Amino acid sequence: MDISFYDGVQQYFGKSRTKPGQYSSLALAYIGDGVFDLIIRTIILDMGNGKSRDFHRLASSIVKAPSQAKIIRSVLDELTEEEMAVYKHGRNAKSATSAKNSSIIDYRVATGFEALTGYLYLDHKLNRALELVKLGMERTGLIPLKIR
């Protein structure tokens, strides 16, 4: 029987004693960024074969802060109280890095989105993260249609 990615990492490398709610918002955003990137890369790869530069270009257009901000803003009304609290903590976290190609507002909102995604992943609620990402991408029109 196959196991989830996270369960597999824990099985092979040891289970963390830290609960998802014990991580800093920026730590949650760190892992959430990677989880979201993997979700988007998987969606794009499943669209069919293509050139890696086209994959990268399409993925980069979706995983950037303005797109993440659009996604989370479109689903805020769907969040539970717990999810909203995690999002707000991430959004309000003071980061040592700054926005490169986005406004500081979009950067902070995107950090909240990443923190929520990371929290859900670490709390073994990847299905909920996928549900919110799918809904947000549908509502914003960010679902990739094809590889160019």
Tens of pLDDT along 58-74? Answer: 899 899 999 999 999 99
> Which one is predicted more confidently, 86 or 51?
86
Question: Residue written as tokens 């909920």?
Answer: 128
6-30 pLDDT, tens digit per residue, is 888 888 888 888 898 899 999 999 9
Cα angle, residue 137 at apex, residues 78 and 127 outer, rounded to 5°: 60
Catalytic residue among 7, 33, 37, 46: 33
Decide if pLDDT at 146 tops 70: no
- Across the chain, the runs of DSSP E, i.e. the strands, are none
Q: What is the mean pLDDT of the chain?
A: 90
Tokens for 55, please give them: 């994959």
Q: What is the pLDDT of residue 11?
A: 86
DSSP characters for 57-77?
Answer: HHHHHHHSHHHHHHHHHHHGG
Find the angle CA(103)-CA(108)-CA(111) to the nearest 5 degrees: 125
> What pLDDT is recorded for position 46?
86
- For the chain, the domains span 23-140
Which superfamily does 23-140 belong to?
Ribonuclease III domain (1.10.1520.10)
Question: What is the average pLDDT across 100-124?
Answer: 93
In which residue are the tokens 């800093």 written? 24
For residue 26, which phi and psi values (nearest 5 degrees)?
A: -75, -30
Q: What pTM was computed for the model?
A: 0.90
Active site residue 33: yes
Q: For 137-141, what is the mean pLDDT?
A: 93
> What are the backbone dihedrals phi and psi of residue 25, each rounded to the nearest 5 degrees, phi first?
-60, -35
What is the tens place of the pLDDT at every residue in 28-59?
A: 999 999 999 999 999 998 888 888 888 889 89
Checking if the pLDDT of 147 tops 70, the result is no
Which residue, among 38, 45, 35, has the nearest Cα to 144 in the 3D structure?
45
Q: What's the confidence (pLDDT) of residue 148?
A: 46
pLDDT at position 104 over 70? yes
pLDDT, average across residues 87-91: 96
